[in-house]
């Protein structure tokens, strides 16, 4: 590990917070142990994950997308594991690009492990991300918390989700650890688990246990999965009606607006904020983890 200072920023989208590491040339080594230390809320900077900002042409996983998107979101979970996508992360990533002067308000494209995501940056601070289409595998699971069990709908937004409808969000328990689900083979690489309660017509609230991060204040892909699962529960499929459907999804950190269009494309709109920037102390980088 180099002893040179590493620049960082801190940002959040509906209080799903991230350490942002600008690294256009992909010159910084970010092993899982360092990512976990950066995300440690007591001994590090603190965050639900790391947004490693790299030019697509400089990253081996993104070079094939360089013609479509200049920038690649190399996203890592708080435990250091690699993730396919993070909806709130894309919004914060795009807001950083604007903050740094790499892009201006309007339409841009961001490369992710879940594909290239079109993004619209509004001048009022809201960011809209085209999240792609949801896949709805038939195999589902049963999620259990404190003796209560619920069937969970399998929704894939580039990353896996299990959506369970509950009467009260308190039934989700503490969510310090991943709620058990069965059969486990449905999600061989783990899963994000959403608990959902109704709040009104086309309006729900959710809590989420994110794979690799425990409970978070918000999850963008999770909100999209929840909107799709709720629409199907309500007997609504825009592909059949030809009419877009929009759900308001309350998360612990705010509110996201999710629209599913007749062609299956899902759009997520919400805020993204940059709150701080600075440099990581070089001596801290070389200290052994406690």
The binding site for substrate consists of 16, 77, 87-88, 159, 192, 210-211, 220-221
Q: Find the DSSP H helices in 68-167.
A: 87-99
Does residue 39 have an active-site annotation? no
Place of tokens 């081996």: 60
Q: Which of 90, 219, 227, 229 is catalytic?
A: 219
Query: 196-207 burial, b if ≥16 CB within 10 A, otherwise e?
Result: bbeeeebebbbb
Determine contact, residues 154/162, Cβ cutoff 8 Å.
yes
Return the DSSP state at 135. Answer: B
Distance CA 91, CA 58 (A): 22
| 219 annotated active-site | yes
The token duo for 245 is: 């459907």
Residue 271: phi, psi to the nearest 5?
-80, 160
Kindly calculate the radius of gyration of the chain based on its CA atoms and give it in whole angstroms. Answer: 19
DSSP code at position 172: G
Scan for tokens 């809590």, then name that residue.
Answer: 207
Query: Of residues 86, 110, 155, 272, which has the active-site annotation?
Result: 86
Number of neighbouring beta carbons within 10 Å of residue 100: 15
* Count of C-beta atoms within a 10 Å radius of residue 55: 19
Give catalytic residues, as residue numbers. Answer: 86, 219
């Amino acid at each position: 590990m180099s002893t040179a200072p590493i620049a960082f920023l801190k940002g959040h989208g509906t209080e799903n917070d991230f350490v942002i590491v600008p690294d256009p040339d992909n010159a910084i080594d970010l092993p899982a142990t360092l990512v976990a230390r950066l995300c440690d809320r007591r001994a590090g900077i603190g965050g639900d994950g790391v947004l490693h900002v790299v030019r697509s042409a400089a990253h081996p996983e993104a070079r094939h997308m360089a013609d479509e998107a200049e920038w690649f979101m190399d996203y890592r979970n708080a435990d250091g594991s690699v993730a396919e996508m993070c909806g709130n992360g894309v919004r914060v990533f795009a807001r950083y690009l604007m903050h740094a002067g790499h892009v201006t308000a309007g339409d841009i494209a961001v490369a992710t492990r879940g594909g290239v995501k079109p993004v619209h940056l509004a001048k009022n601070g809201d960011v809209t991300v085209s999240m792609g289409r949801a896949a709805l595998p038939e195999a589902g699971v049963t999620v259990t918390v404190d003796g209560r069990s619920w069937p969970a709908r399998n929704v894939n937004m580039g990353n896996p989700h299990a959506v369970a409808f509950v009467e009260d969000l308190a039934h989700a328990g503490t969510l310090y650890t991943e709620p058990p689900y069965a059969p486990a083979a449905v999600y061989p690489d783990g899963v994000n688990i959403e608990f959902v309660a109704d709040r009104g017509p086309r309006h729900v609230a959710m809590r989420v246990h994110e794979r690799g991060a425990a409970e978070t204040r918000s999850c963008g892909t999770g909100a999209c999965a929840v909107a799709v699962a709720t629409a199907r529960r309500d007997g609504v499929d825009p592909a059949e009606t030809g009419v877009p459907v929009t759900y308001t999804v309350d998360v612990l950190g705010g509110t996201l607006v999710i629209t599913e269009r007749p062609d299956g494309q899902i759009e997520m709109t919400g805020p993204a904020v940059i709150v701080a920037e600075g440099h990581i102390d070089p001596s801290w980088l070389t200290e052994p983890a406690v």
